Structure 1
Amino acid sequence: MVPNGWEKTTVGAACAIKNNLRFPINTEQRQSMAGVYPYFGPTGVLSHIDHYRIDEEFAVIGEDGDHFLKFRSKPMTLHFEGKANVNNHAHVIADSEKCSPKWFYYWFMHRDLAPALSRQGVGRYKLTKKGLEGLEILIPPKNEQLHISRILSTWDKAIFNLERTIINSNKQKKALIHSLLSDRPRKKMGKKVLHREHAASIFFPRSTRNNNELELLSVMQDVGVVPRSSLDRKVVMPEGSTSGYKLVEAGDFVISLRSFEGGLEYSEYKGLVSPAYTVLSSKRPIVNDFYRHYFKSADFIGRLAVAVIGIRDGKQISYDDFSFLSLPYPSLVEQEEISRLLNNAESIIKKKKNELFLLRQEKIALMNQLLTGKRRVHFPDSETAAQA
């Protein structure tokens, strides 16, 4: 049902598509034209150049790419005001009598465009100008568009500020890890460097097998070692017996194919992992959180990279490669104290990430109400407010 005063129409009938303003240049050309004006692709700023084709408010929606199917988690549109450029892989939407760029930006931000897409090879899709023109859009009066956009912009700013806070908190945590665990900053601060021992004296490889009844675990750089059943992404499940899979106990660490880039992964779960992984268990008393943080530190990843230099991408790092590394092994009291400080920093980041998740969910719910007219706005001269 179309709200009173609104119009159900198409992009072609209501919006100004200005693809003549696009500026298609390749990476090499952009590098020779380095400057201050943003150069947009379909999903973000690719670089900055010394030239601009656009000097007005505009929205961008992709013409081709593999991002269209990620509309629930990734924005399909971009918005900008000022001097800029857009490449030929995106459509440019300018202001029109009926539709503002900001309204277009919010309307299609998380909208499923699949019905208007054509295939362009495996995993790639194309939104032609004709397909774009045929997309349906609900249009309120221009002043109502602007007020709704202002409300949503307030949420955008809050989300942006919280994202920046999280980025800064992560930088502070990395700096704290460096100052607590690396030799050079400890010396500069007049602290005693941490006692070190060979990894082989602290950890041993666990190769226990024949535990078919246990749950399968996945080893992921972004989330660690987690049950496969908990993932919302596609994972390859083994065919046949898992008797050859390795046992992982809670508190174990796992060396993955990408450990030389992202460190070792920690498991809070008991289960099975592929025999391609190396499972590490402690042979001496340790504080698990101490090594959980250390195995993700720049100090450890740098030492590991040196130890495995020459190993090509795709080859598993072996226990022998790991065993000769010099690892910190301070007293358990010092391990506990360092862990406490790093866990506190981690806890702050987790809390902020949860706040960000809730803020994004609230914004999505608000968009669903405001962009469909289920909640209308009233706008007296000095006030803009959402009205139930």
Structure 2
Amino acid sequence: MVPDSWVIKNLGDIATISSGGTPSRSQSEYWGGDIPWVTTAEVNFGTITKTAQTITSLGMQCSSAKLFPKNTILMAMYGQGKTRGQVAKLGIEATTNQACAAITLKSGYSHEYLFQYLQSEYENIRGMSNGGGQNNLSAGLIKEIPLPVPPFAEQTKIAQILSTWDKAIATTERLLANSQQQKKALMQQLLTGQKRFAESHEEWRVANFSSLYLVKNDKKTQTTSSNYLEHGKSPIVDQGQTLIAGYTDSNQLYRDVPVIVFGDHTRAIKWVDFEFSPGADGTQILKASDLLEARFAYYLLSNADIPNLGYSRHMRELKEIDFRYPTDKVEQQKIAQVLSTADAEIANLQAQLDKLKLEKKALMQQLLTGKRRVRLDDEEEDVAPIRRVG
């Protein structure tokens, strides 16, 4: 149900849906021009202002590529992983490949409102995909997407409110990326001796893996992937990219912490300072030898250049690496403290980003369905079950 002043329409009723094309790769004169050319890899819930590839006027003329105006909404009809169903907005005139659906609104409808709505419907749109060997979207399916359409003034107001969250999210993402880059630079400087503390004068030495790290696996504390729980008494840490992979109710836990967890297949490196159950597959538990301060040992290992062998095991490669380290443990502790402070800043920004995204998601669920109304100029806001916006 939607408010009385809203109507439900199919996307094809309020917009034209078309797609682009790819000029022949064998014709060099078709490529490298001044016309932006979008692929689905660039359709990622943002505004596109530049593209990785460009085509020439001849390339556009000799293919099915079309020049779409600024504010056209693009939707990925197929692509790798999570790409299918993602949307983006053109901030420039651009062409696209044939995997992008270009949605051009008719007059009287807000492209910003549509952009927000299609983002909110991402999972549902993916579920509309054609069956068969490949789950792809098509122009026909996209035309059938239903959407609630409020009066234009309300569309605009809703879009303005959600855009405020978008700006906050984008700002936080930039701050997070900057902090991550700064930490990377700090690691390169501090963990190689390029940058040292004024009072640090002790020598740096080179030692192999076996001199600096001890392998401390304990099979009786491990949990196989088939026994992971969504909820449980204790966390499971395995070789995956996330810190906590699941939970267990077992009382057989790894308690001699802190430790470093190394992903034998994935090369993931984690600092674990709480009791846990290690994953049974490819989870290697390491501790620092007496030559290294524990937290410094984690950062030193994180900065190691471990060759990527795909899903092969990497412990053999790790054991062949020589590490350069300061012999003074006070210097090790200072390095670890600086990098821990950087990690804390990154974690704080990530938490802020996650909170903003959750807030926006909650707002979208309310505003884009009419469950929560917004104040328009010279109008009273409808009574809503939660606090007023606008």
TM-score class, shorter: 0.7 to 0.9
Which digits, 9 at most, give the CA deviation of each residue in 1:111-167, with x for residues without a partner?
A: 11255321242xx41222221122211111223212221221221111111101110
C-alpha spacing 1:80/1:266, structure 2 compared with 1 (3 Å): same
- Contact in 1 for aligned 2:128/2:137 (Cα 8 Å): yes
- Contact 1:159-1:359 at 8 Å conserved across structures: yes
Q: Which residue of 2 is the match for residue 97 of structure 1?
A: 107
Selected match of 1:352 from 346, 349, 353 = 349
Q: Does 1:291 align with 2:285?
A: no
- On the 8 A contact 2:173/2:353 being kept in 1, the answer is yes
Gap change, CA 1:265 and 1:83, over 3 Å in 2:
same
Of 238, 242, 246, the match for 1:228: 246
Task: Specify every segment of 5 or more residues in structure 1 that has no aligned partner in the other structure, as ranges.
Answer: 231-241, 306-310
Q: Equivalents in 1 of 2:254, 2:175: separation in Å?
A: 39
Change (3 A) 1:356 1:115: closer
- Distance in 1 (CA, whole Å) between partners of 2:151 and 2:338 is 54
**1:218 offset after TM fit, Å?**
4.1
**In the comparison of the two structures, how many residue pairs are matched?**
352
Distance 2:29 2:112 in 1: 30
Question: Equivalent residue for 2:116?
Answer: 106
The two structures, once aligned, show a CA RMSD in angstroms of 3.8
1:252 corresponds to: 259
Q: Please state whether the residue corresponding to 1:56 is helix, strand or coil.
A: coil
1:337/1:92 CA distance change after superposition, 3 Å? same
Equivalent position to 1:164, from 174, 197, 202: 174
Is contact 2:288-2:297 (8 Å) kept? no
**2:129 maps to 1:117:** yes
Q: Distance in 1 between matches of 2:37 and 2:202?
A: 49
Distance 2:321 2:128 in 1: 57
Q: Which residue is equivalent to 1:233?
A: none
Amino acid at match of 1:336: Q
Mapped contact 1:119–1:125 kept (Cα < 8 A): yes
Q: 1:182 aligns with which of 192, 196, 207?
A: 192
Q: Which residue identity is paired with 1:219?
A: D
The alpha-carbon distance between structure 1 residues 196 and 266, as it changes in their structure 2 partners (threshold 3 A), is same
Q: Report the Cα distance in structure 2 between the residues aligned to 1:30 and 1:358, rounded to whole angstroms.
A: 47
- Does residue 58 of structure 1 match 2:72? yes
Mapping for residues 314-325 of structure 1, pairs under 5 Å: 314-318=311-315, 322=319, 325=322
Q: 1:315 to 1:370 in 2, by over 3 A?
A: closer
How far 1:263 sits from its partner (Å)? 5.9
Q: Out of 194-203 and 84-93, give the one that drifted further.
A: 194-203
Q: How do residues 35-46 of structure 1 correspond to structure 2 at under 5 angstroms?
A: 37-42=35-40, 44=42
* Structure 1 residues 113 and 168: CA distance shift in structure 2, 3 A: same
Find the aligned partners of 1:109 and 1:324 in 2 and give their Cα distance: 46
> Does structure 2 retain, via aligned residues, the 8 Å contact 1:219–1:265?
no
Q: 1:217 to 1:387 in 2, by over 3 A?
A: closer
**Structure 1 length-normalised TM:** 0.77
Q: Which residue in the other structure is 2:366 paired with?
A: 369
Distance 1:229 1:272 in 2: 10
- Residue type matched to 1:173 in 2? K
Match of 2:287 among 281, 285, 291: 281
Aligned counterparts of 2:28 and 2:366: Cα–Cα separation in 1: 41
Write the distance in 2 (CA, Å) between the matches of 1:63 and 1:33: 23
1:108–1:30: structure 2 CA closer, same or farther, 3 Å change rule?
Answer: farther
Q: Aligned to 1:272, which of 257, 269, 278?
A: 278
- Counterpart-to-counterpart distance in 2, 1:320 and 1:81: 46
What TM-score does the superposition give when structure 2 sets the normalisation length?
0.76
2:146 matches 1:139: no
Do the aligned partners of 1:60 and 1:78 also contact (CA within 8 Å) in 2? Answer: yes
Asked if 1:219 is matched to 2:238, the reply is: yes
Identical amino acids, percent of aligned pairs:
20
State the secondary structure of the residue aligned to 2:92.
strand
